[in-house]
């Protein structure tokens, strides 16, 4: 499949023309998707074309399952140089193509996370082959709708946690930053235009990469350390570890590098205040230039 079907591009353009920029993100759920958000005490629902297809769980479920370590595993080329066998079970959040590690070095992840529907249109078969019913799936509105367009049955019996955009939330007009800055669960650094949400059920700051959203879920889990694998950013023009030159999908990571790094820098500051260490295990990550030192403990070449 192509990255996005032509009809989605038409819907995206039409929604912006008809509803204006403040409600253009309503196209993410159109046509047919209807959600009721989950809270810490009440599950939510996912309906498609008037029929229930799944229940939504609170991010509190993820926090209850997490331990002292949480790892965020991206699909940057450097991941091929990591020895992940030593990662404890149920510590890894697998992003996009890193789902292919499930069943290999990653026996039991903590969760998976996908927020760009283009990955669904291109790699839905990977999800069907690898994702078990028991593992939480962090999915955005657009991803849920894309899955429903392809195979709504995939969502049944799965644990779904919503990645909702704090700036462009489901069913609500686009929010101004001056409103967001009044929220007691959100922190925004005006100078860098980066932000963090401390309550993912009420939305997260999307920062140009699903790794930014996953980082906010990881902080919410309150572990002692958060490990970063394959969050390279700087080499996005190279094939992801699961791709070849001929099968590369388009990426906007390079253009969003400064934005992504700014969110990680803000998260490092907050994490330090909470006694959480953020560790970078990619030797080529753009985060190194922002002060995230390279930790080689998962390098196969490291002496035993």
pLDDT in tens, 83-119: 999 899 999 999 999 999 998 999 999 999 999 999 9
| DSSP structure string for 164-190 | -BSSS-TTSPPPPHHHHTT-TTEEEET
Residue 169: count of CB within 10 angstroms of its CB: 17
Distance in angstroms (rounded) separating the CA atoms of residues 137 and 113? 6
Q: Is residue 2 part of a domain?
A: no
Give the per-residue pLDDT at 1. 43
Mean predicted confidence (pLDDT) in 149-175: 96
Q: Is residue 302 part of a domain?
A: no
Question: What's the structural domain count of the chain?
Answer: 1
Q: Is residue 94 part of a domain?
A: yes
Query: Which positions ≥6 away from 179 have C-beta within 8 Å?
Result: none
Whether the per-residue pLDDT at 154 is higher than 80: the answer is: yes
Mean predicted confidence (pLDDT) in 15-33: 93
Domain of residue 266 covers: 7-290
Q: Is residue 16 part of a domain?
A: yes
Q: How confident is the model at residue 133 (pLDDT cuts 50, 70, 90)?
A: confident
E-strand spans in the chain? 33-36, 44-48, 51-57, 69-73, 92-95, 111-114, 137-140, 160-163, 186-189, 194-197, 225-229, 277-280
Q: Is residue 250 part of a domain?
A: yes
Q: Which of 214, 213, 203, 224 is nearest to 271 (CA)?
A: 224
pLDDT in tens, 218-235: 999 999 999 999 999 976
Distance in angstroms (rounded) separating the CA atoms of residues 221 and 24? 32
CATH number of the domain that residue 30 is part of:
3.90.1480
Q: Is residue 72 part of a domain?
A: yes
pTM: 0.92
Q: Is residue 297 part of a domain?
A: no
Query: Which positions ≥6 away from 191 have C-beta within 8 Å?
Result: none
Whether the per-residue pLDDT at 129 is higher than 50: the answer is: yes
Whether the per-residue pLDDT at 24 is higher than 90: the answer is: yes
Q: Is residue 1 part of a domain?
A: no
* 3-state SS class at 33: strand
């Amino acid at each position: 499949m192509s990255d996005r079907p032509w009809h989605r591009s038409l819907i995206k353009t039409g929604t912006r023309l008809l509803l204006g920029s403040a409600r253009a993100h309503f196209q993410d759920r159109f046509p047919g998707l209807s959600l009721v958000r989950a809270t810490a005490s009440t599950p939510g629902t996912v309906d498609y074309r008037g029929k229930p297809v799944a229940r939504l769980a609170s991010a509190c479920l993820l926090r209850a399952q997490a331990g002292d370590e949480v790892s965020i595993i991206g699909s940057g080329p450097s991941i091929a140089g990591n020895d992940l066998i030593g990662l404890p079970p149920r510590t890894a959040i697998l992003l996009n193509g890193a789902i292919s590690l499930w069943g290999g070095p990653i026996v039991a992840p903590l969760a998976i996370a996908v927020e760009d529907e283009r990955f669904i249109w291109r790699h839905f078969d990977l999800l069907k082959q690898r994702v078990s019913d028991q593992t939480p799936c962090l999915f955005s509105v657009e991803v849920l709708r894309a899955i429903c367009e392809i195979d709504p049955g995939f969502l049944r019996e799965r644990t779904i946690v919503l990645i909702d955009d704090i700036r462009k939330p489901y069913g609500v007009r686009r929010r101004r930053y001056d409103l967001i800055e009044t929220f007691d669960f959100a922190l925004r650094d005006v100078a860098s235009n980066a932000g963090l949400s401390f309550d993912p059920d009420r939305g997260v700051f999307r920062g140009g990469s699903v790794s930014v959203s996953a980082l906010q879920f990881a902080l919410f889990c309150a572990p002692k350390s958060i490990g970063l694998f394959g969050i390279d950013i700087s080499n996005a023009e190279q094939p992801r570890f699961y791709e070849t030159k001929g099968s590369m999908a388009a990426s906007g990571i390079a253009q969003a590098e400064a934005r992504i790094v700014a969110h990680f820098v803000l998260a490092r500051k907050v994490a330090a205040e909470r006694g959480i260490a953020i560790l970078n295990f990619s030797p080529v990550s753009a985060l190194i230039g922002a002060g995230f030192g390279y930790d080689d403990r998962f390098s196969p070449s490291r002496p035993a």
